[in-house]
Structure 1
Amino acid sequence: MKFYKELSKVYDVVFPKDENTLEFLCKNLKVNSKILDLACGTGSYAIALAQKGHRVDAVDLGEEMINIAKSKGGLYVNFALADMTKVKEVFQGSKYDFIFCIGNSLVHLENREKVQTLLKNMHDMLNYEGSILLQIINYDRIIKYNIDSLPTINRAEKGLKFIRNYVYNEKSSKVDFNTELVILKDGKEEKLENSVELLAIQSEELIAMLEKAGYSNIELFGGFQGEEYNDKTMALVIKANK
């Protein structure tokens, strides 16, 4: 699809590596940890973790994303083009100290049953006392306050703008995520539109899913600076242990 092909080219401009996020990912990691990055995008965090001495595997469904990731840090990370729901087969027999899935990627799965299965697979792939970290949009906030958009990402110096709108469907408990990527080329704007259905998984539901999958010590945060989670924070970040 043209939208994702063009987005992959500018992904690191639209979503640059954030040092607060990297620092949060590194918290409590032991030296030479074995790490799995699900839906790794262009691999910025996977590469940064590998450069800190960790052993990192990473998967993404987008071929363009994986190609860019390999070009950036193929010597550091074992990148694989794969659906994250198939990761148990892709890295058969592998065990990890830490598995993370950020960037609102979890809710892109087709249904809640697939989310539950993925969470169980992640649990199975963890070493004893291993941990996971998930980050999604705070759908408690979206639903309670009828939020219909996220702040536009404007990279004026690069001629880029990423517009993000939500339409919540109460019957299906999903949202239509409508996006527009605006690229300025030779003084003219090129607009690429896309719409994808996302699972509007709220905090209590996700906690219940994690408990069902066998996790313990579940902690909620409102962002990667470790702020307290509530129904007004933009993000939901969850850490849990095996």
Structure 2
Amino acid sequence: MKLYDLIAENYETIFPLEKEKVDFIKTFCKKGKIIDAGCATGELCFTLLNEGFTPTGIDLNIKMISIAQNKIRPSASNIRFEVEDMLNIVKFGQLNAVFCFGNTLPHLKNKNEVFLFFSYIYKSLLGDGVFIFQILNYDKIISEQKVNFKTIENGDFIFKRSYDFAEQERLKFIINFTDKKNNESLSDHTFLLPLKQEFLKESLKKAGFKKIGCYSDYNFTPSDLTEYSTIYAAEK
């Protein structure tokens, strides 16, 4: 079973879209053509469509993309979703912004792929374009050898996440999903790159980005590496 098939139908319940995220985006980019890399079921893209953007969502999970595509209204011509590798972002032409939320970036295979992704984004962005991504704070996680994932539970399911730290170069990320309606428990895993802030900043600079902001939340609190999440905003 593919890892994220476990949660596709409940994704927007497990990870609801924060208004603060949309406001954060609009601070950097008011409109235009955007890519949401790792779009899941497309909730952010639909919200940005209503804000005047022209969004394309890409994800490798077929089930997620199918759910997103089925939500498109016949009259909506300025939104689309594709099953696509984010390393192929240059195929979408010139962009006003690229977003990569939900700790998607660590799913790349190695650090070279991360740098290539940053470089491709830089080439794809227009002069005033912005690249915004969110990632877990692996400086803190690796140092403490733990992460406090909250259990998410309602009347339909129980969702749990954990890391296995046996391999430090690529952490084993485990999902356990219990379907209460069908009395079924499922588990799967993948491996994630524990990308630290120094590497990310240096790779963004090497790719060409001149202005890089790091924040602990969508209220622009400067990152001090004590929180479990970091948001980066990189401008040309």
State the TM-score, normalized to the length of structure 2: 0.92
Which whole-Å deviations, capped at 9, do the CAs of 1:61-81 have from their partners, x for residues lacking one?
111111111122362412111
User: In the alignment, which of 174, 182, 201 is matched to residue 170 of structure 2?
Assistant: 174
What is the aligned partner in structure 2 of residue 232 from structure 1?
226
Distance apart, 1:143 and its partner CA: 1.2
For the residues of structure 1 that align with 2:195 and 2:169, how far apart are their CA atoms? 8
Which whole-Å deviations, capped at 9, do the CAs of 1:209-229 have from their partners, x for residues lacking one?
101101111010012232221
User: In the alignment, which of 175, 194, 198 is matched to residue 200 of structure 1?
Assistant: 194
1:5-154 superposed matches below 5 A:
5-30=5-30, 32-73=31-72, 75=76, 76-89=78-91, 91=92, 94-154=93-153
Distance apart, 1:129 and its partner CA: 2.1
Q: Which runs of 4+ in 1 moved over 4 A?
A: none
What is the aligned partner in structure 2 of residue 159 from structure 1?
156
SS class of match (1:165): strand
What is the aligned partner in structure 1 of residue 210 from structure 2?
216
For the residues of structure 2 that align with 1:209 and 1:169, how far apart are their CA atoms? 26
Runs of at least 5 residues in structure 1 that lack an aligned partner in the other structure: none
Distance apart, 1:2 and its partner CA: 5.5
Distance apart, 1:51 and its partner CA: 1.0
Distance apart, 1:196 and its partner CA: 1.0
More strand by share: 1
- Equivalences, count: 233
Which whole-Å deviations, capped at 9, do the CAs of 1:158-205 have from their partners, x for residues lacking one?
4222111112356x522111111122115x3x2111111100001111
Which whole-Å deviations, capped at 9, do the CAs of 1:48-107 have from their partners, x for residues lacking one?
101111111221111111111112236241211111112223x2xx11111110100000
SS class of match (2:227): coil
**Larger displacement relative to structure 2 (70-79 or 15-24):** 70-79
Runs of at least 5 residues in structure 2 that lack an aligned partner in the other structure: none
State the TM-score, normalized to the length of structure 1: 0.90
CA contact (8 A) 1:167 1:176 kept: yes
**Larger displacement relative to structure 2 (136-145 or 172-181):** 172-181
CA contact (8 A) 1:109 1:115 kept: yes
For the residues of structure 2 that align with 1:57 and 1:195, how far apart are their CA atoms? 27
Give the % identical residues: 28
CA contact (8 A) 1:149 1:164 kept: no
SS class of match (2:134): strand
Q: Which amino acid aligns with 2:194?
A: A
Which whole-Å deviations, capped at 9, do the CAs of 1:102-155 have from their partners, x for residues lacking one?
10000001111111111100000000121100101110110122214422222x
